[in-house]
Structure 1
């Protein structure tokens, strides 16, 4: 009987050691996989989630994440308001769940459409917008042109459509100056 107890104890110890070893391997693999994730994959796992973003220039946005591009995010602020946020201007994100996507699993179109393409869509619609800049200033304007690394905007009154007689100035803004573009209509 003493031998049976001894072997039962040894088997229990071996079983517990095996479980601990497997748990350690799983933890190590998980850390390794997390180490390959980029911001894109982490954020793509939060699509349709309400988030709070802290952005350059002191701007904070509470919105639902709708799309993640290679260098931009599309946020739904509710009430028909959307914002295109420059990914490089994101200082922090709150509200993320535990899920991420795996690297290189984004859609082909999504992975190829950069900030230039997203802003070009806003320019095509000719809608007035508010541009939030890295220096914490804002411009109420309509985007006239989109270059490879800049936008040209016609500034005018907030929420007003672009009319030649109401344009105050035309200004060129490098993408590096942009934090977010929010439609105002």
Structure 2
């Protein structure tokens, strides 16, 4: 009986070694998979996970823009800050501070998150709110939005009433102020 116990002891030891080797191999495989899957995570999906948080966006042509992230849509986000709101075009975002550590995959986004940049701009145009349209080059157009096209917005400037067309590709953010 002694040799059986010894044999089972050796077999148990071999089994534990095999389990440990498998666990190491599995951990490396999971780490590789995790890195590979993370490449599918978008900035927008991280922002959706950051809704209702105070964040700071570094926006091309505008600089740091801080506020509570209230909404994220396809290609844009909405920040609320004291005395002003920002509709930020995501291609103009250079960096984000204080975002959530997790992300929300696009399939889990609410239907309203699929609305494009034109949607919040049309709301501002309908409300005839005074705002400042800021471009990625740093130009500011102060006035009201009048109409929104497929890839541009019309800004009726303050004193002159001139209409400036701002292409979405050059749009950094629209800043609206509370009255």
Using the size of structure 2 for normalisation, the TM-score is 0.85
| Alpha-carbon separation, structure 2, partners of 1:44 and 1:183 | 22
Confirm whether residue 183 of structure 1 aligns to residue 171 of structure 2.
Answer: no
Structure 2, unaligned stretches of length 5 or more?
none
The 1-side partners of 2:17 and 2:83 are apart by: 61
Larger Rg: 2
135, 138, 142: which is aligned to 1:136? 138
For residue 38 of structure 2, the aligned residue among 34, 37, 41 is 34
Could you tell me how far apart the structure 1 residues matched to 2:72 and 2:156 are? 27
Corresponding residue of 1:61: 65
Match of 2:154 in 1: 152
| Residues matched between the structures, number | 174
Distance 2:69 2:62 in 1: 19
Q: Distance in 1 between matches of 2:119 and 2:56?
A: 24
Q: Which runs of 5+ in 1 are unaligned?
A: 157-165
- Contact 1:65–1:74 at 8 Å: present in 2 too? yes
- Give secondary structure in 2 for the equivalent of 1:60: strand
RMSD: 2.1
Q: Which residue of 2 aligns with 1:70?
A: 74
Q: Which among 104, 125, 146 is matched to residue 107 of structure 2?
A: 104
Partner of 1:170: 163
Give the superposition deviation at 1:175: 1.5
Q: Distance in 2 between matches of 1:5 and 1:58?
A: 70
TM-score (norm 1): 0.82
Counterpart-to-counterpart distance in 2, 1:103 and 1:175? 22
Q: How does 1:116-127 map to 2 (within 5 A)?
A: 116-127=118-129
